[in-house]
Structure 1
Amino acid sequence: MERSQLVHLPGSAGEHVLQQQYGTTERAERFYEQQVLDHLNQRMREFIGRQEMMFVATADARGECDNTFRAGPPGFVYVINERWLAWPEYRGNGVMASLGNISENPHVGLIFVDFFRDVIGLHVNGAAKIVEDDEMRLDVPQLPVDPVPGRRAERWVAVRVEEAYIHCAKHIPRLHRNPQGRAWGTDDAKRKGGDFFGARATPQSRVPLD
């Protein structure tokens, strides 16, 4: 297959080249045809509406990557329609790693994994933008009110869906819930994990990157 033809398939040119190199092209194209959508179908929208956690991959303008975790009550990631979803951003450690990357490079990769009920995952790739809370609520009046008393999102990340596809259940463990409550939005250092890894007392040597 010529490189000019590769742009018409989902995924990157690099993955298509390696599919040819390793002999997986037919299997990959079958997956693209049967499983990869450019929007969220009804089942995907319902699945996201049940989820309490999400992993978010971003990269800056140079391609330096970061991966983070977001969690909240079921439906904390709000599906606006089949092409758009959004999640709230709250006061955190002030680093702004994910949002900083998005400000340079809008491409994001999300994965929702249901460890408890369906034991399945959903990938969503797309282009993100940062929207302040007041503006977001003007654009999307039906946004839910935060269920934690007194807490309000500072801003939202809205994602235009470009790819959505299954992450198979093959290696997803089934987990069981701990009934212990969670301190949503706490600023208590101990309850947030404190200095769990002992980083504060670990000597640092900041070496410039090439």
Structure 2
Amino acid sequence: MIFPPPSTGSAGEHRLQQQLGTAERAARFYDQQVRPHLTDEMREFIGCQSMVFLATADSHGECDASFRAGPPGFVHVIDYRTLAYPEFRGNGVLASAGNMIENPHLGMLFVDFTHHHVGLHVNGVARLYDDAELRRFHPGLPTDVAPGRGPQLWVHVTVQEAYIHCSKYIPHLEPAPRPLGHDPARPKDADYFTKRRTAVWSGLS
């Protein structure tokens, strides 16, 4: 029987692998794909991405999934073990950042939907900094991540593991053309999931 090193994967993973007979296949994946740092290819991939999905949890294990987007490279690769990305002003809830204060473990998923159709998982430990504080440690941070918008905070991520998300079930998406004007039938964001749809939207309910 092949067993991965104890530091690779969770106890729950290994329990299910034994139960479902996938331990040897999982061990090969851990050995061949999971890295404790970013490779050159991973760094290049992150530098081209314009979106990332986030997973956080508070101190009680209550989870939150979120999404960040920006110009390609808005998640800045500092080195093989370090990433940073800006938190801009949003709805004021700060759910992801609030979770990081209680529980610094962060999961990130980068997905290329339009070119190579592959994903990259990055798991690590997050720490929050204000802009001036992080620039004292890393003066090479970009200053024009989003023109006209300054970050409220930076999320500094110490990478613990990184590995591929295979392309098998990643859909191919085409970038949508930018609309010429606002669709009057579309509710405002604040009303989108909270108010009764007009007749135009009744077919979706």
Pairing partner for 2:102 from 104, 126, 129: 104
1:196 matches 2:192: yes
CA distance in 1, matches of 2:103, 2:16: 25
Change (3 A) 1:13 1:6: farther
Please list, as runs of the form range in 1=range in 2, the aligned pairs for 1:55-134 lying within 5 A after superposition. 55-134=53-132
Count of residues paired in the alignment: 190
CA distance in 2, matches of 1:64, 1:129: 19
TM-score (norm 1): 0.85
CA distance in 2, matches of 1:53, 1:6: 32
What stretches of structure 1 move > 4 A for 4+ residues in a row? none
CA distance in 2, matches of 1:191, 1:77: 31
Q: Percent identity?
A: 58
1:169 matches 2:167: yes
Q: Is the 8 A contact 2:71 2:146 kept in 1?
A: no
Deviation, 1:9, is 3.9
Q: Is the 8 A contact 1:53 1:113 kept in 2?
A: yes
The equivalent residue for 1:22 is 20
Residue by residue, what CA displacement relative to the aligned partner does 1:57-91 show, whole Å, maximum 9, x if unpaired?
00000000000000000000001000000110011
Please list, as runs of the form range in 1=range in 2, the aligned pairs for 1:118-157 lying within 5 A after superposition. 118-157=116-155
CA distance in 1, matches of 2:108, 2:25: 23
CA distance in 1, matches of 2:59, 2:144: 33
Tell me the SS of whatever aligns to 1:92. coil
The equivalent residue for 1:46 is 44
Deviation, 1:32, is 0.2
Change (3 A) 1:164 1:130: same
Tell me the SS of whatever aligns to 1:166. strand
Q: Is the 8 A contact 1:49 1:75 kept in 2?
A: yes
Amino acid at match of 1:194: A
Aligned-pair RMSD on alpha carbons?
2.1
Deviation, 1:6, is 6.9
The equivalent residue for 1:208 is none
Deviation, 1:138, is 1.3
TM-score (norm 2): 0.87
Q: Is the 8 A contact 2:49 2:110 kept in 1?
A: yes
Q: Is the 8 A contact 1:6 1:13 kept in 2?
A: no
CA distance in 1, matches of 2:89, 2:187: 16
CA distance in 1, matches of 2:157, 2:189: 30
Residue by residue, what CA displacement relative to the aligned partner does 1:5-34 show, whole Å, maximum 9, x if unpaired?
876241101101110111100000000000
Q: Is the 8 A contact 2:70 2:146 kept in 1?
A: no
Where structure 1 has 5 or more consecutive residues not aligned to the other structure, the ranges are 182-189, 202-210
Amino acid at match of 1:196: Y
CA distance in 1, matches of 2:192, 2:111: 25
